[in-house]
Every structure is written in C-alpha cells, then in structure tokens.
Amino acid sequence: MGRPAHEEKMPDIQNKGEIFNMSQSYYRNRELSWLDFDKRVLEEAQDLNNPLCERMTFASIFKSNLDEFFMVRFGMLHDSMLFSKNPRENKTNMTASEQIDAVLDKTRELTAECDKTFADIMTDAEKQGIKLVNFKSLTEEQAMAVEDYFNKEIKPLLSPQIVGKRHPFPFLKNKEIYVLVTLKTKNNNEKIGIVPCGSNVFKRLIPINGIDGVFMLAEELILHYAAKVFDKYKVKEKTLMRIIRNADIDTEDAYNDEENYRDMMERIIKQRKKLCPIKLELSRKIDDSTVKAMSANLDLTADRVFYSSIPLDLSFVFDLQNYLSDKKELFYSPRVPQKTPFADNKESMIAQIKKNDILLSYPYESMKPFFRLLSEAANDDAVVSIKMTLYRVAKYSKIVETLIEAAENGKEVVVLVELRARFDEENNIEWSKRLEEAGCRIIYGLEHLKVHSKLCLITRKENNSIEYITQIGTGNYNEKTSKQYTDYSLMTASADIGMEAANVLNELAMGQVVERTKHLLVAPKCLQNKILAMIDEEIAKAKENKPAYIGAKINSLTDKKIIDRLVEASQAGVKTELIVRGICCLIPGVQGYTDNITVISIVGRYLEHSRIYIFGAEPDCKVYISSADYMTRNTLHRVEVGVPVYDERLKIQVLEMFNIMLDDNVKARRQMPDSTYVKLHSDNAPLNSQEYFYNKAYKNAPQSKN
C-alpha cells in the first residue's frame, strides 16, 4: 500500500524456550484459536497500565467469554463426538474428541492463570480500601453480626435439598452457583445436599459491619453456615459448584411446518435452558466419591470437572466498582461519542446524504445522525417505505420505536427480525411482537440461513421519480453497544446501491437470496466468490510484477477457501496485512506458505467489530465495509452485505484508519509463525489506535455555538 515498513523488533522465539518448526502447517485449530483470543483478554486484566477497575472488568469478560465458548463451541464438539461419528475438522484434521482433549488442557491452563490474575487484582484493590473476606478474617463481633444477617436475611429464603431415593437429583440451572455438601447421618451413611445460592431477593455482595469497603459474597456466607441449613446432619465437606450447559441447538431440526415460527423459537429458548451439562466447576477440593457421584448425576466424565480458587462468577465486580466510583484514576477516562463533522444538525439528513455519502465510525462518532435519518423518514410525506434487517437491538430501542412511529404514520414498514440471534432471541421476539402490533410487516429470516446483514433502505417518491437512501453497516443497530463496539455505518443516496439493496430485501421477503450483484457483496451467493475473484486479481498483478496488496480487518478468519487463496497470494508475492481480532485459523510467516502475510489482533477498551476489505495497492484499490467475517458461517450460511466505499473522501478515511490500526503498538499483538501472539517492541512513540481515533473525533467535532 506504499506504507513505510514496520519498525517493530521481532521477538526471539528461541529465547522463549519454544520449539519452532518452519515446516509446520499454516492452519490453526478454530477452537484453540478462540481460546488464544480469551488469553489476550486475560492479558488485559494483567496489564498494569490499565486502571484497576478496568482490569476487574477484563477478568469478568474473560470468565463470561469462557462460559460462552463452552456453551456454544464446546457444546458443538460434544454433540459431534456423540452423534456425528467423531468427525475431523477440515484444517488441522483433528477429530472432535481430539479437539475436546486439547480444549480441556488449554482451559485448565487458562483457569489457573485467571485465578492468579484475579488474586493479584484483589491484592491491588485492598490498597484502594476494597476487600473480599472469609470468616477467618472477621473479629468475633463481626462474625456475630454476619451470623445474625444470615439468620434473618438469607436463611429464610433458601431452598435446600437432600439427594436420595425419595428426593431425586434436582435440576441445576446453567451458570447458577450452588452449595454442595457431603452429609453424614446418625447411622453414618452419607448423603449429598444442595443449596441454590442465586437469588434476586438477597444481595450477592454483603458489606461487613464496622469495616468500610469490606465485603463477603453471599455464596460464601451460605457455604460457611451449611451446618445451620442441614442441622439434622453432620457436614463432612463442602464446596461451591456451578455447571455450564450446552447451548448448541439446531433450530432447523426443531422446526415443523405446522408450528408458528415465533412460537417455535420461544419453545427452543426454554429447551436450551435444559440441555445437558458439559462442565462442572468447584471452588475447593472435595472427596473423590462425592465428585464421582455428582459427575454421574450430571452425566459428566472426570475430565469435565474444574477447580477454581476464585469466585466462580465474577459479575459482582461491577458492584465493587460502584464503591470506587469516586476514584476516577481507577477507571478509563470518560469518553462520549462525538458529532461527525460531515453531518449538520440544522440540515435535513436526507438532503445531506443526497449531496454526499456519510460514514459514521462508532463509538468515536455518535449514532444520532442515523436516528435523525430514520425519524425524518418516519415523518417525510415523500417516503413510501422503510425496509430493514434487525439482528441485535437494544432492550429499549430508539430504532424500533421509530419504525413503529413510521408504521403508525402510514408508511410501509417491512422488518426482517432474525429470531436466531444467539442469546438475544427473547429480546427479538418481544420487539417482533411490538412491531407487528404497530402494523409493520415482519419476516423471520430464511430456512437454514441467518440474516446477519445490517441493511436499511428508505424509498422515496418525489416529482414522479423513485429515489433511495441506503444505510449499510458492519454492525450495531444497538444504541448501547454502539458505545462499546467499533463499527462503520455508511449512508448513501447512490441509485445503483439502492436498487441492489431493494433487490436484496425483496428477495428476502420472498424467502430467497440474490443470485448476482454488481456493486454489493451479498452472501451466500455473491460474497465468497467475489472475494476469491478479487484475491485472484491481486495474484495476477503480482505475477506480472505489478503492485499487489490485500488488506482486511475482520473479527474472525476460518473460511478454508479464503485461507487457501490467501496462501496462494502470499506464495505469488502479494503483500497481505490482516487485522483479526479473534479466531484466526491462518498462521502467518510460515516459510514457503505465508511469508508475505502478517496478522495482528487489537484487544483494548472497545471491542473491535468493524470489517474492512481492501484489494489493490493505494490509490487504485477497492475498499469495502461489511457485516461479514471471513468465516464459512458468514460467507455461505448467512445473509451478509458488504458495500463498496465509492466516495473518495470516505475511502481515504477508511484507509487511514486501517493504517493507523496496523501501526498500533500498545493494544495490538502480532501472531507469530508458532501461532502465539506477542506484543512487539517498538522504537516509535506509543500508539493506541482506539485512543487516537477518539482524540481525533473530539478534535474534529463541530463546536456548538452559543
């Protein structure tokens, strides 16, 4: 791209004591790569340059990410091993059972690392006056106060159970914490007792009377007083426990033609809550016989049992942070999305977009111009229809409320609501009902294909002519996450793009997908093949000794066809720079295969979510933003939309941002040929790309006039 060579110093792999074989495969297993990303999140919790409370947040995110991994990906591996004859995955050739073994080993390493990390964080928190305690730390007076609190506020709300012949093993909720005890009867027999600790009635974080900033977790209090709960027995041993359940459900297999689709999704959500356990977590070592009994009841093998010395759920850290809110130095400096310099608040959004395309960059720039566009459309007499795809929206969504307003104003409003947006299904179901009640026409996506595109089309009829205003984004119709995720939103009056967007939405309304496009990239028929063709163009240029370049910023790279074609490009001499936040199944720098490919991952304050595709050396390059990652699920099994950035001014903006991210030497990590990720040493001034973009947004924001 005509950029100066990077000046980072490559780490000496041999000094790390790692074996490095240049003939290794250039593939990385998808599941292990997911865990690599989780490790990078955990490293942010370890980074002392991050404020203390933000380190707490990263530790909590690590734990919740790991939960989701087991619920989704490990659940899939579990099902594959049981029901699909233990298939091999198509890159590293590992069977499902081999992947499970590798994942379990890696998870034990990460769990131990997280335990140490969180313990270090809480040691630093003590210096700020915040402490989690157990009973050994309490004075006699404090212990009496805590016992009184337990007797009055917690014990009456508990629902303990004995497991026995007349008391079948209870259903344990996914991710909920329980006390597990081994009890001895008067006849010296042993029984298992279980107490749920999750309650919306009593607080999880309990202040200790007389000591400001000192707390005990409710589950530790219940665990300590287990003998009071089971007062007819002798408590032999006790621990806290938590299970993770499989959340991998095939909605297509569950559907029958006689059932309303929305009703089916509501049934599926209930069913998912009861899927099989796949992981058991314990807070302390207990007798093997009890662990075996629990594992048998949960139908788990011994390798699915994990021990952790820290709280099993770290979500309480956000409550802890409330007690430190007056110490601003313990948090990131506040940042507020800024006004874009390319949209005038005093002028109609439709009129402005008709003059020039507008690109918003979240979270650095505000989502308000898009809200204004929708609101104008809802009240514009010339607007005939608003058509939109919704994948994830906020619980209290201004966008959906505006669509309802448009319908009530007599506009034709067609909304494709994807009910299969994992873990957002219930929210989407409720909004679909609201939209339908307001008179919007609702579509629920396509059979076997999730609709993941971020597409909004406003059709106007003025002076007997039809015109389109099209918005296409990389993500975020969610007001809340637009302040936490990086994304792009392009608004254009291009007739060519508008007509193709109209075709995409009309085909979806008929349960079909577009077969061909000229401008847009539209999965599943017109995205992967077009990307491969553009890679081939760069290969051809390189073979003719012409400038050739491929760049991409994506969340994940798993599509084997694209990976293999990128390897061909590297072998042909095409310089390829990839910014891949999460899963990356391609290993760069492998001699003879991926020598010309570099991969970095940026993990920082904001979740990197925007997707950029670049083909060709500057300035004669093609630039797209897209909702699709380079994953087979996106390129072939979802409806995704990518849009070319034709406006030269905006094209330059996207390229500049891409180049700044490549130069990030604070939050970026380089993937090495042994598949590890390292922060590279640099003689250049520190550059945190996310902070750079926010500083620039503040600098460029129009100043309000009094």
Which positions ≥6 away from 622 have C-beta within 8 Å?
Answer: 534, 613, 614, 615, 616, 644
* Catalytic-residue membership of 452: yes
Please tell me whether residue 421 adopts helix, strand or coil conformation.
coil
Query: Contact, 603 vs 686, CB < 8 A?
Result: no
Angle between helices 52-69 and 30-46 (to 10 degrees): 160
Closest CA to 458 of 375, 340, 514: 375
Closest CA to 291 of 276, 302, 307: 302
Distances (CA, A) of 610 to 158, 487, 489: 46, 4, 9
Active-site option among 78, 224, 452, 609:
452
Strands (E), 529-686: 549-554, 575-580, 597-602, 607-608, 612-615, 622-626, 638-644, 668-671, 677-678
Q: How many CB atoms lie within 10 A of CB 537?
A: 17
> What is the 8-class DSSP label of residue 445?
-
Distance of CA 101 to the CA centre of its chain: 24
Closest CA to 294 of 247, 240, 246, 248: 240
Distance CA 44, CA 55 (A): 7
Does residue 93 come out as left (phi exceeding 0), alpha (psi in the -120 to 50 range) or beta? left
Query: Contact, 306 vs 243, CB < 8 A?
Result: no
Distance CA 50, CA 696 (A): 21
Distances (CA, A) of 705 to 339, 700, 701, 702: 14, 15, 12, 9
Which positions ≥6 away from 311 have C-beta within 8 Å?
Answer: 132, 217, 219, 283
User: What is the enclosing helix (H) or strand (E) of 262?
Assistant: helix 261-272
Distances (CA, A) of 307 to 36, 99, 119, 669: 21, 21, 15, 30
What are 648's two structure tokens? 């030269």
Distance CA 579, CA 662 (A): 7
For every residue of 192-238, DSSP letters joined together read: EEEEE---SSS-SEEEPTTSTTEEEEHHHHHHHTHHHHTTTSEEEEE
Residues in the chain: 706
Closest CA to 559 of 579, 536, 532: 532
Which residues does the annotation mark as catalytic? 452
